[in-house]
Each structure stands twice: as C-alpha cells, then as structure tokens.
Amino acid sequence: MARYTIPMVGFFILSCWASLTEAEYIKYKDSKQPTNVRIKDLMSRMTLEEKIGQMTQIDRVNATSEIMKQYSLGSLLSGGGSVPHLQATAEDWVNMVNDFQNGSLSSRLGIPMIYGIDAVHGHNNVYKATIFPHNVGLGCTGDPGLVKRIGAATALEVRATGIPYAFAPCIAVCRDPRWGRCYESYSEDHKIVQAMTELIPGLQGDIPPGSPKGVPYVGGKTKVAACAKHFVGDGGTTKGINENNTVINKNGLLSIHMPAYYNSIIKGVSTVMVSYSSWNGKKMHANRDLVTGFLKEKLRFRGFVISDWEGIDRITSPPHSNYTYSVLAGISAGIDMIMVPYNYTEFIDTLTSLVKNNNIPMSRIDDAVSRILRVKFTMGLFENPMADLSLVDQLGSQEHRDLAREAVRKSLVLLKNGGSADKPSLPLPKKLPKILVAGSHANNLGYQCGGWTIEWQGLNGNNLTSGTTLLSAIKAAVDPSTQVVYSENPDADFVKSGNFSYGVVVVGEHPYAETAGDSLNLTISEPGPDTIRNVCGPVKCVVIIVSGRPVVIEPYLPYMDALVAACSRSEAKCL
C-alpha cells in the first residue's frame, strides 16, 4: 500500500474540494448571470452535434424522450391535428410535454426544449379550448385592445397544456382574396395589420420600459413566445396562389408587407417564421438579403428565425430534389431553427457535413444557436422547464368564452338591413310565431369554426369540440312561445307552406386551410345559393354568410332582406 505524507493528503483533499465546487457552479445555470454571459458559457461547452440539435424542430409524432436526449433537439411542435390522442385533456397534454422535456433535461448539458403549436385563433388544436375569430374577423373589429386581451387569454390556454410557444400572429397583408390563407390576415390594409400586432404583447406580455429594440421578451409562466409570420410578402402572391411569387418592387414590399414586422420587433416578438412564397422569383427561405440583411441586421431582430413546415425542402422544385443545396441555402440565408417534422436525421447529417466541409461557417451556426438560447433564457425555460397543472382550469374558461362572444359581436359586419334606413329588418323581434332556420352552416360547428380547428383543414359536424351552433343559439335567444323549425336545405314548396314569420339562412364556405383554400371564383359552397333562393323568395329572410374572405353575393342580394358577413367563417361562434 502506498504511503502519503500529511501535506500531500491535504493538497489532495483541497484539490477535490475545488473541483467539486467548480462542478457545482455552472454559469449558464445561474439565473442571476446576464443572458449574454449564460449564452456564451453554454455555447463554449457545446459540441457541433449539440448545436445542430438545437437548430432542429420535429413533430411530436416522431419524437420520444430518448430521441430528445440523444440528439439534444431544440424544439418539438404539434402540426395541425397532431395531438396526444383524440379529445385529450389539458392534463394529457401537460404529461406528454413533460415526458419529452425530461428527455431533453437528461441530455449531457440538460438544455430544455421549446414546444410550439399553431394556436392561431385560440388554442385551436385542443379539445374544448376557446376558439376565437380568425384574424380577418378580428381585423373587422378595429379593436387592438380586444386583440391584446385575446392574446392574453390564448397564452393562458396554451400554457394550460404545458406549451410555451405559439406560432402566431400571422401578419400577412392579404391583397387578393383568392388566397387560401386570406382569413389568417387581419386586413388588406397594412395599417390595420400593424395595429393588430397587439396580439404579441397579449401573448408575451408588455416589454419592460427602456428595453432595447429587437430583444425577445416573454413575461413569465402565464405567457408564451410569439411568432410573427410569414416573412415576408406572403399575402401578395400572383393571383392569390398560396406559396406563389410576390411580384412587387422593393418600395412596395417595404411599404405594404413589411410595416407590421417593424411593430412586432418593437414589441419584443421572440421569433419570426419565413414564408414559403418568393419575392420577384427568389424563394424567401433562401433570401439572405431579407432574412439576414434586413430582418437581422437592419431591423436588429435578436430572436430566432424559424422555417415553415418542411420549408427548406421547397426551396427547390420539386421539393427535396436537391436537399444538400436546400440546407445550404436555407441556413446561409439566416434561418436559425429548421422545422423538419419527419426526416430530421437527414437534416442533421446534411448540415453536419456542410459545416465540417467548410461550406457553412461555424459563425453561422453560432449565430443561430445563440438566438435560440436567448429566447429560451428569456422565457425562463432553464429555471422552469417543466409544466404543471396549475393553469388547467384556464382551458375553455367561462371568462375566455365571454371574451370570444364579445369578439364575435364586434366582428360581424352588417351589409344590408331592409330596403331603407327607415325600415330596418334587424334586429328581429324575439317573439314571433314561427321561424325557419336553414343552411349548411346553421347547425354545423365544424363549418362555423373553419380551418385550423382540431384538424389542420377543419372538420364537418358537431362532435369535434365543445361549442354552440347558430341553430342552438337562436333557439336559446327567442321567446319560449316562438317555434323554431330547422331544415338544412328546404325546397321552395316547403317554405311557402310553412307559414313562417321569418327565415334565417346560414351558408358560406366549407372549411379549408392554405393551398386547399385557394379559389379562382370565390363562390358560396353548394347548395348555399339554392337555399338562399328557396327561403328568401317566399318569406322575409336574413342571410348570414360564414366565410374567410369576400365571396360573390351579388346574384342573390335582391332576395335578401338583411345580410350579415360573419367574418372569418364565423369561427368565433365555437363557444
């Protein structure tokens, strides 16, 4: 057995103590340290593989806690309809998110992941959540304060399910209603869109006084990181074709499509999502001049830039035809986090190879990772990575449903009311002998809610979530003595023989999202026109159009005594 002198033993003990003390104190885990110090310390400890992992976001359907640990993935998301299981409760969501988070925290450096979801009109993926009007309806309200309150309510419901990141708001300026995402736009007027960026402080909280421009801000565990999208010009594509080319000079781009990004950055938006579309033939996912040169350098945005769903794949046509080039172009353009919902190992391997072969400099990787970490530190994810059940009662709360009803009232647009101002048809008296309610949208919660509700493209029927159909609302509103008769598409003989005091016809567009909603003719879905003619010919009638944009109504206008546009396809009536 070896023998040690007393001084040597003492030195050995002191050395061990010093090592243990150093191991116990890690700067990036110290919330008292400045954010930049924490970022620098953490990045100094990260391998290339861990950095690229942080730049990767995958869909929950492909994730396990072990995958989160193995690849040190920076983010997960739920795409439209990607849920733990049908009719999952808030508790189910929290448990799922925490399971993934435990995987991230067990990785070598324990960097928490950030979970994102498309909460674009309320927490719309989630069963029994409050559904608010889509943006086109909120734009009709002209009430930024209301929009801010909706943002705050949405943040509470998103946090109730353990999720800290919402891909909202869409601040596109829809210049052509044929675009299938027009209902995601607040207005064709950029000034209205700018005003409605108040959703951001609603979601994230008001930035503290004196905060530097462009720095992301999230005000605690009841708030979520927001995402301004889709950068830039997505609402101005030729013929309104989704993901198409926006042909406009730089002055037009900056004066129409860019202004809301100025407001978003000033309000501390945490992330910006890049558009699928092109500007004058250049794919936005590959546009370094705008993503890095303008957004990051000129506007001094310091949050992170995220791609859209498989967005870098679509840099080429057909998509994914030259993936190495797409990764090179997207990362070089300045995209920091890549949404690769499915084939994430291909992305990780491709980007790793590009860096090791010096096609992409480490400075670009470090810029991306530092931005991602800045948002995570700002959100407090390192201090509070795990979700809890303290907010589950906020999901679909009565207070939020009352707020949604307020938004419905303010979003409705009265386009016709009787033959003259002296003889208005509305409001209808509550006490009438007999009312006919008709139309494809009168007793269909899915049609009322539209796209981006439970499923990406929306649903048909009344079993998708909790809510009140227009038929049910009318029955609840009239006098008990009033008989309410419902017929989805009555023929003219039925209407003539029914001795109705009034008819209420609710028709419009069927649910859609994105490219599936592109329309060349902007017509009301069949049999809506027939229902209008059959009902409004024989009796006085009110027509409610449930749509996500202007639709052709002129041929049927003479039949109507009153006409109401339920902006944003009446999604807000999912209460």
pLDDT in tens, 107-142: 999 999 999 999 999 999 999 999 999 999 999 999
Domain edges within the chain: 31-394, 412-565
| Predicted model pTM | 0.94
DSSP 119: -
pLDDT at 57: 98
Tell me the pLDDT tens digit for each residue of 254-270. 999 999 999 999 999 99
Instruction: Please tell me the distance from the alpha carbon of residue 12 to that of residue 216, in angstroms, as a whole number.
Output: 46
CB 104 within 8 A of CB 111: yes
Confidence (pLDDT) at 1: 40
Q: What is the pLDDT of residues 539-548, one digit of tens each?
A: 999 999 999 9
DSSP reduced 3-state for 246: strand
What mean pLDDT is predicted for residues 276-291? Answer: 98
**CA distances for 524 relative to 127, 169, 479, 548, 553, angstroms:** 28, 27, 31, 11, 8
**541 CB burial (10 A radius; 0-12, 13-18, 19+):** buried
Q: What are 90's two structure tokens?
A: 């808030």
pLDDT tens, residue by residue, 312-333:
999 999 999 999 999 999 999 9
Q: Which residue among 118, 308, 336, 571 is the active-site one?
A: 308
- Sorted by sequence, the CB contacts under 8 Å of residue 123 that are 6+ apart come out as 117, 129, 130, 154, 157, 158, 160, 161, 395
CATH entry, 412-565, from 2.40.128.110, 3.40.50.1700, 3.40.50.620, 3.30.200.20: 3.40.50.1700
Section 60-72 average pLDDT:
98
**Distance separating alpha carbons of residues 326 and 321, to the nearest angstrom:** 9
Predicted confidence (pLDDT) at residue 7 exceeds the cutoff of 80: no
Q: Which helix (H) or strand (E) holds 149?
A: helix 144-160
Instruction: Answer yes or no: same fold for 31-394 and 412-565.
Output: no
Could you give the CA distance from residue 556 to residue 533 in angstroms, rounded to a whole number?
Answer: 7
Rounded CA-CA distance 243/514 in Å is 9
The count of other CB atoms within 10 Å of the CB of residue 205 is: 20
pLDDT in tens, 200-210: 999 999 999 99
Q: Quote the CA–CA distance of 68 and 106 in Å, as a whole number.
A: 9
Smallest Cα–Cα separation from 574: which of 478, 488, 480, 459? 459
**pLDDT at 21 exceeding the cut of 80:** no
Are the beta carbons of 162 and 76 closer than 8 angstroms? Answer: no
The answer to which of 94-98, 118-122, 208-212, 233-237 has the lowest mean pLDDT is 208-212
Query: Is 514 annotated as catalytic?
Result: yes
Q: Is residue 118 flagged as an active site residue? A: no
Given 514, 518, 561, 571, the catalytic residue: 514
Question: Which CATH number does 31-394 carry?
Answer: 3.20.20.300
Q: What is the mean pLDDT of residues 386-398?
A: 97
